[in-house]
A and B are shown apart, each in its own frame.
Chain A
Amino acid sequence: FKSGADQEEVEVKMEKTEAEAAFPPTFSVSEIKNKQRRHLMFMKLKQEKRKQKIQLKKKKKKEREALGDKAPPKEVPKTIENQRVYDETTVDPEDEEVRFDEGTDEFSAYFNGLTNPKVLITTSDRPRGRTVKFCEQLATVIPNAHVYYRRGLALKRIIPQCIARNFTYLMVINEDRKVPNGLVLCHLPDGPTAHFKVSSVRLRKEMKRRGKDPTEHFPEVILNNFSTRLGHSIGRLFAALFPQDPQFVGRQVATFHNQRDFIFFRFHRYIFKNEKKVGIQELGPRFTLKLRSLQKGTFDSKFGEYEWVLKRHEMDACRRKFQL
């Protein structure tokens, strides 16, 4: 039975000074029924732990300085990106079969320089404020893009008309409660359709320290971290949105950065101050995308065949396994 507070504290202190003897059972802090005393004991425990941690760090630092050059290298902290499970679908640039597959897929016409991108941007029916502005800003960022009002037309009927008018991409921005939340990107002649979830949309006026409006020059495209086969397909999907021009004119760049299966889009203008220093200014909208499904063929959600579909709780099984 537990009698006075002092006796308890004495007991606990004695057990701590017994240097973690396992045989006499130690009372854990959670067994104290009185909330105030329990809280006190817990705070003391935490302070002790913090003290020990700081002592350990000081000791290590001293040892490191004492060894000087012979000190072992600093340990790298583990992050989820570091611990990523090796994906067997990671594309090897030397692989002939994958090269042939990519060389003859639906984007081959663009990557061989035969077609120029022409993008049709539209929304779900009756868009409101933010979505309309978002579409307009996207049209300034993507060259040769046209925004059309969706008059409640069915996508399956719009697609043959777009193909007849030589459009190469159809981009549909879905809106929910006055905010854009979805994006369907369909490559037109017979190409794959990707459905993304859009989040964190920041329009131009909401961005701090931004530069002026983007000009008509074609931006450069940076695709970061698309390593698996699926990532490659999506990367090519984004790359084919912009016209190819090896002589960069205009210092604008659009970046699609993939991290942990989220794709972050940023649009910057850069200027080289000297050989080593660059100054960048963010212009244009920024948003994040998450791939929900990739379908082979043009938009057909009911009867189309899906190449990849997001399964909702797949991440719960292994948090270090990513798809893109």
Chain B
Amino acid sequence: MGDRSRLCSVWLGSETGILKGVSLSRKQAFNFCNMSHLSREQEVRALCWGDPAESELLVGSVDGSVKTFSVEKGSFTETRRCGDPADGCFSGLAVLSGSALVTCVESGTVRVWREDSGEPVTELHAGKNVSRMRQSPVHRHKVGTGGKENGLKIWDLEKPEQPVFTAKNLRDDWLDLRQPYWVRDLAFIPDSDRVVTCSGYHQVHVFDPSTPQRRPVLQLSFGEYPLTALSLAPGGNTVVVGNTHGQVAMLDLRTGLVCGALKGLSGGVRGLQCHPSQPVVASCGLDRFLRIHSLDDRRLQHKVYLKSRLNCLLLASRDPEDKGTVDGICQEVKEEDEEEDEVWDTMERVGDTGEQMKRKSTEEEEGEQQQKKKSKMKRKKGQD
């Protein structure tokens, strides 16, 4: 069990309560659960890493319990009760330094729990309906919350009385009607203080707490359906959003235009995450598939069928496609190529014969490349 969980580079939580790990290099998916004790009460709603070294996962379920899963051992190590199911499902889970856990439920209560006590250390109320809570990657004690008719609020957990920043709604539209808003997902832009949110009214807003303007600094629109998931690309200028129809697109935050769409999803997007270093984005949703697209050429790299509807996903920070032993093989191949090049360079040009040999080698390479292209195309046809 432990060795299987160490292979997995993508972790997903499903509606049936099963935690799934997928190893992309091996193209295999593993279920980590107790098959005899499955129930819909255990539906996974929130996933987060337990520690910066990514050796533990925290899984939040509908019945209010947070389970810790150890990647090394491959099993659940402990369970904590963090709230009533009557309050609503988890809309956010985060870890503070010093093994404190921050949970947020849909009724709006954000609680900080310590390991020993069963009661929350800090509790704050973030409004009525909170759809999402996220933690700032730079300042770990800052969290942002947002929900239906509940605008973006940034809280400092050390001073829980007042939010650090409350967003103001957009100006009334040209008919003087109040614009509705519903924050479905948010993300903190790493270099600055800014926050990107996506709304159920197919808009993307960027807020800047450092300016006195509490209204959105930038407003973009995509599609006609509610945007349910959002993720920042590693460059910091593009954001990937997904909506309930399965349309996933990359938007440029500087110009406000759609860079491109990622095709393939046929159901509503529930989870989106860009890899921190590689230009790769993983998406999961109601169509029971995990898809990995590359951000540069927008092609589908991997598609894995996981039999239940997927709620949330987590990417491991390491390279999704490699493992220890595969690394060694790659290095060996590279060394061989270098040796071949050296051989060719040291050989003397013997006039026509030398040119013919070079031509042959290039023809062979072209032939191989064509074959590779053909096989890639065949694979693509088979997949999609």
User: Which residues of A does B touch, CB under 8 Å?
Assistant: 85, 88-89, 95-98, 100-101, 104, 229, 296, 302-309, 311, 317-318
- State the CA gap A67–B145 with chains docked (Å): 80
> Which of these, B15, B200, B268, contacts A306 with CB under 8 Å?
B268
- Residue of A with least CB distance to B228: A305
Contact A309 B288 (CB under 8 A): no
Best-buried of A89, A97, A318 by chain B (most CB within 10 Å): A97
Chain A: minimal CB distance from B312 (Å): 14
27 CB contacts below 8 A, A to B, read A88-B305, A89-B288, A95-B307, A97-B16, A97-B307, A98-B307, A100-B16, A100-B38, A104-B16, A104-B40, A229-B307, A296-B286, A302-B226, A303-B200, A305-B228, A305-B268, A306-B244, A306-B267, A306-B286, A307-B267, A307-B286, A307-B287, A307-B309, A308-B266, A309-B245, A309-B266, A309-B267
- State the CA gap A97–B30 with chains docked (Å): 12
Provide the B48-76 mask, 1 if CB < 8 A to any CB of A, else 0.
00000000000000000000000000000
- State the CA gap A304–B38 with chains docked (Å): 27
B residues near A85, Cβ cutoff 8 Å: 382
Q: A88-B305, A100-B16, A303-B200 are in contact. Are A309 and B246 (CB under 8 A)?
A: yes
Q: A88-B305, A97-B31, A318-B381 are in contact. Are A303 and B287 (CB under 8 A)?
A: no
A residues near B31, Cβ cutoff 8 Å: 97
- State the CA gap A303–B39 with chains docked (Å): 27
User: Which residues of B does A touch, CB under 8 Å?
Assistant: 15-16, 18, 31, 35, 38-40, 200, 225-226, 228, 244-246, 266-268, 286-288, 305, 307-309, 381-382, 384
Chain A: minimal CB distance from B192 (Å): 32
Q: A98-B307, A104-B40, A303-B200 are in contact. Are A308 and B287 (CB under 8 A)?
A: yes
- Residue of A with least CB distance to B246: A309
Contact A305 B286 (CB under 8 A): yes
Q: A95-B307, A97-B18, A100-B38 are in contact. Are A305 and B288 (CB under 8 A)?
A: no
> Which of these, A95, A96, A318, contacts B384 with CB under 8 Å?
A318
Q: A97-B18, A100-B38, A311-B266 are in contact. Are A306 and B381 (CB under 8 A)?
A: no
Contact A97 B308 (CB under 8 A): yes
- Residue of B with least CB distance to A230: B287
- State the CA gap A98–B382 with chains docked (Å): 24
- State the CA gap A318–B40 with chains docked (Å): 37
Q: A89-B305, A96-B35, A296-B268 are in contact. Are A306 and B18 (CB under 8 A)?
A: no
- State the CA gap A291–B384 with chains docked (Å): 19
Q: Could you count the A-B residue pairs with CB atoms below 8 Å apart for me: how many are there? A: 61
- Residue of A with least CB distance to B244: A305
Contact B308 A101 (CB under 8 A): yes
A residues near B268, Cβ cutoff 8 Å: 296, 305-307
- Residue of A with least CB distance to B309: A307
Chain A: minimal CB distance from B74 (Å): 18
- State the CA gap A206–B227 with chains docked (Å): 47
- State the CA gap A308–B246 with chains docked (Å): 8
Secondary structure type dominating chain A contacts = mixed
- State the CA gap A296–B246 with chains docked (Å): 13
Q: Which 8 A-B pairs have the closest CB atoms?
A: A305-B268, A307-B286, A305-B244, A88-B305, A307-B267, A97-B307, A98-B307, A104-B40
- State the CA gap A128–B35 with chains docked (Å): 53
A-B contact sample (12 more), CB < 8 A, given A101-B308, A303-B226: A101-B15, A101-B307, A104-B16, A229-B307, A302-B225, A305-B244, A305-B267, A306-B267, A306-B286, A309-B245, A317-B384, A318-B381
- Residue of A with least CB distance to B270: A305
Best-buried of B225, B245, B266 by chain A (most CB within 10 Å): B266
- State the CA gap A89–B226 with chains docked (Å): 27
Contact B226 A101 (CB under 8 A): no
Chain B: minimal CB distance from A145 (Å): 30
- State the CA gap A302–B243 with chains docked (Å): 11
A residues near B15, Cβ cutoff 8 Å: 101
- State the CA gap A89–B245 with chains docked (Å): 20
Chain A: minimal CB distance from B315 (Å): 22
B residues near A317, Cβ cutoff 8 Å: 381, 384
Chain B: minimal CB distance from A324 (Å): 12
A residues near B228, Cβ cutoff 8 Å: 305
Q: A85-B382, A97-B16 are in contact. Are A306 and B307 (CB under 8 A)?
A: no
Chain A: minimal CB distance from B247 (Å): 9
- State the CA gap A104–B286 with chains docked (Å): 16
B residues near A88, Cβ cutoff 8 Å: 305
Contact B267 A308 (CB under 8 A): yes
- Residue of B with least CB distance to A318: B381
B residues near A318, Cβ cutoff 8 Å: 381, 384
- State the CA gap A134–B308 with chains docked (Å): 37
- State the CA gap A95–B40 with chains docked (Å): 17
Best-buried of B38, B286, B307 by chain A (most CB within 10 Å): B307
- State the CA gap A307–B305 with chains docked (Å): 14
- State the CA gap A224–B266 with chains docked (Å): 24
Best-buried of A95, A100, A317 by chain B (most CB within 10 Å): A100
- Residue of B with least CB distance to A88: B305
B residues near A306, Cβ cutoff 8 Å: 244-246, 267-268, 286
Chain A: minimal CB distance from B382 (Å): 7
- State the CA gap A98–B288 with chains docked (Å): 11
Chain B: minimal CB distance from A3 (Å): 46
Chain A: minimal CB distance from B60 (Å): 20
- State the CA gap A291–B307 with chains docked (Å): 21
A residues near B246, Cβ cutoff 8 Å: 306, 309
A residues near B35, Cβ cutoff 8 Å: 96-97
A residues near B200, Cβ cutoff 8 Å: 303
Chain B: minimal CB distance from A94 (Å): 12
Contact B381 A304 (CB under 8 A): no
Chain B: minimal CB distance from A101 (Å): 5
- State the CA gap A311–B265 with chains docked (Å): 10
- State the CA gap A85–B380 with chains docked (Å): 13
